[in-house]
Amino acid sequence: MLVVEDESDKRALIRGELERRYGSDYRVTCRGSARSALEKLEGWRAAGDRVALVLADQWMPDGNGDEFLARSKVLYPEAKRALLVSFGAWGDRKTADAMLRSMARGRMDYYVLKPWRRADEYFHRTVTEFLQEWERATSANPQEVALICEPRSPRAYELREQLARNGVPHVAHDTNSPTGRRMLEEAGLAGTRDPVVLLLGGAVLVDPTNVELADAYGVSTSLEGREDFDVVVVGAGPAGLAAAVYASSEGLDTLVVEQESIGGQAGSSSLIRNYLGFARGISGSDLAQRAYQQAWVFGTRFIHTRGVTGLRRENGRHVVTMSDGCEARAPAVVLATGISYRRIDIPELDSLVGTGVFYGASVSEARAHAGQEVYVVGGGNSAGQAAVHLARFAGQVTILVRRGSLAETMSSYLIGEIDAAENIEVRPHSEVAGCSGDGALETLTLRNPLSGETETVPAAALFVLIGAEPRTSWLPPAIQRDQWGYVMCGSGLPPGCWPLERAPLMLETSQPGVFAVGDVRNGSTKRVASAVGDGSVVIEQVHHLLDSAEAARATARSPA
């Protein structure tokens, strides 16, 4: 751990706190100036030492803390970096602005309040969280799962994605690296080119399928004889997980079926910064794992790595068919299958998602890019809204569109707002062809699809809004969808498609007892919080449905 603090009394206090608490596992080094701290880091790097945490005061005689942290990132990208802030410094706008700018650029992780007394647990809570994140993320630490693979093999990428998005602590080694070769030899697999997965318990898997990997990790991939539930939830993104937590906690026998990874789209977000209660943001997979565990302790059953392929009604119950042919039955089904954002197929962009490249509007990022040059890709209303919102903060917003103008794809009121904004430029006949950046986006390469000409421009952020598709193609025709495939519900159902006398419940689809929540629902707000809101609200409606079915049965049984 490295601390840079120019005031000697504060430095001594921080050193004491860190050494007493972490001294047996970490070496604590304190420096009084940015220059000597940087020299220390360079020396450690040359010697091959590891650094877990770098803390720096903002205002030092020989340099600013945010700039020092940015330079330390180049030397130790995996180290957690934070600005040391004094208690009561909130009114200091200069420090706050430097900090917010720096966090938005991915140059530091957060801030830490300087300890002001011995055993300052508030200080230690932040430090401990950093250490846990570093321990999980650093490639050199042994983890529960080791993947030995050729880094550029597409299947290895899929396996890494599956592990990462499901929040499985893992480490990947190149098949050709000394560690990779040694581990393969020890497993009796010397020379194997296929991806190999080694689990803490001793299991060895050669080129496993997703189902085999999930089975080996100990999560359930089949119904194991159970068939009847109170409610089946399809999809374990934020909406499905919220539905599961509320259903199970309220006594409903609940099954969740997920085809890819827990957390859905949110699981692919490196840092969700606008979810209530997580001031320094939370990684999507962390949030999803917390929700998953919460549902699990309430008793939710999960089936992993199985898609739902069919839904039909039989003897008054809904029957859900899974990709392995198994079937589950329930009086209520919640569709939480979400959408998939269309992505730009450029690998370098993928590596910068969350640190300059954003899929969707990511409105929370707007303030963080105050005064900077940002780009929006897309010609639809969502791209227009994002551009207008960003222009309130950014220095310059450029909208990239493949067509010659926005006229055919965007509402005229938005085109008017864009024309009126001094800092929004529309760049027709433009597409993204590449990018660069050391840990955060720095430049974009733009191409004119008609002429093939390219130009490289500096860019602090790229917001990609090129459309999304709801995952509903497998649904039966009885479930009404709008022209884009989003599921219609409640009062939004077209006339004539609702078969019962009672009115449909707010989140009920055209098939009574089947509900839709989250992004897949027509008219939904595409945010984690609103998906979670839908997922929690729908369970009250499921109760209503089950109670009225129970009441109808009781009436039928009672003597006239």
Ligand X SMILES: Cc1cc2nc3c(=O)[nH]c(=O)nc-3n(C[C@H](O)[C@H](O)[C@H](O)COP(=O)(O)OP(=O)(O)OC[C@H]3O[C@@H](n4cnc5c(N)ncnc54)[C@H](O)[C@@H]3O)c2cc1C
Pairwise CA distance, residues 107 & 355, whole Å: 9
Return the DSSP state at 89: G
| Encoded tokens for 470 | 């709801």
Q: How far is CA 547 from the centre of its chain?
A: 36
Could you identify the residue written with the tokens 């080119």? 193
Pairwise CA distance, residues 90 & 86, whole Å: 9
Closest distance between ligand X and the C-beta of residue 38, in Å? 33
Beta bridge partners of 55: 3, 82
In SS3 terms, 136-151 reads as HHCCCCCCCEEEEECC
Contact assessment for residue 379 and residue 402, using Cβ atoms and an 8 Å cutoff: yes
Could you identify the residue written with the tokens 């809904």? 318
Return the DSSP state at 1: -
In one-letter notation, the amino acid at residue 529 is: A
Q: Answer left, alpha or beta for residue 75, where phi above 0 means left and psi between -120 and 50 means alpha.
A: alpha
Pairwise CA distance, residues 419 & 78, whole Å: 43
Query: Looking at beta carbons only, is 28 or 271 nearer to ligand X?
Result: 271
Q: Is 207 helix (H, G, I), strand (E, B) or coil?
A: coil
Give the phi and the psi of residue 78 in degrees, each rounded to 5.
-85, -15
Contact assessment for residue 159 and residue 141, using Cβ atoms and an 8 Å cutoff: no
What are the angstrom distances between the C-alpha of 504 and each of 80, 188, 447?
A: 51, 61, 50
In one-letter notation, the amino acid at residue 105 is: R
- Print burial letters for 244-282: b (CB count within 10 Å at least 16), e (below 16): bbbbbbeebbbbbbbbbbbbbbbbbbebbbebeeeeebb
403 Cβ contact list (under 8 Å, min separation 6)? 379, 409, 428, 429
- Print burial letters for 10-19: b (CB count within 10 Å at least 16), e (below 16): bbebbbebbe
Closest distance between ligand X and the C-beta of residue 308, in Å? 4
Closest distance between ligand X and the C-beta of residue 412, in Å? 27
| Encoded tokens for 191 | 């020379």
| Encoded tokens for 67 | 């700039």
CA-based diameter of the chain, in Å? 91
Closest distance between ligand X and the C-beta of residue 161, in Å? 12
Contact assessment for residue 2 and residue 32, using Cβ atoms and an 8 Å cutoff: no
Strands 317-322 and 196-199, how do they pair?
unpaired
Pairwise CA distance, residues 187 & 191, whole Å: 11
Closest distance between ligand X and the C-beta of residue 366, in Å? 12
Beta bridge partners of 321: 310, 327
Closest distance between ligand X and the C-beta of residue 244, in Å? 11
Could you identify the residue written with the tokens 């997980």? 241
Pairwise CA distance, residues 10 & 113, whole Å: 12
**Contact residues: ligand X, CB under 6 A:** 234-240, 257-260, 264-266, 268-269, 272-274, 307-308, 336-339, 341, 353, 359-360, 362, 471, 474, 518-520, 526-529, 531
Residue 396: how many CB atoms within 10 A of its CB?
17
Pairwise CA distance, residues 65 & 71, whole Å: 10
What are the angstrom distances between the C-alpha of 98 and each of 28, 54, 63, 88, 102?
A: 26, 17, 13, 17, 6
Closest distance between ligand X and the C-beta of residue 319, in Å? 15
Query: Looking at beta carbons only, is 92 or 482 nearer to ligand X?
Result: 482
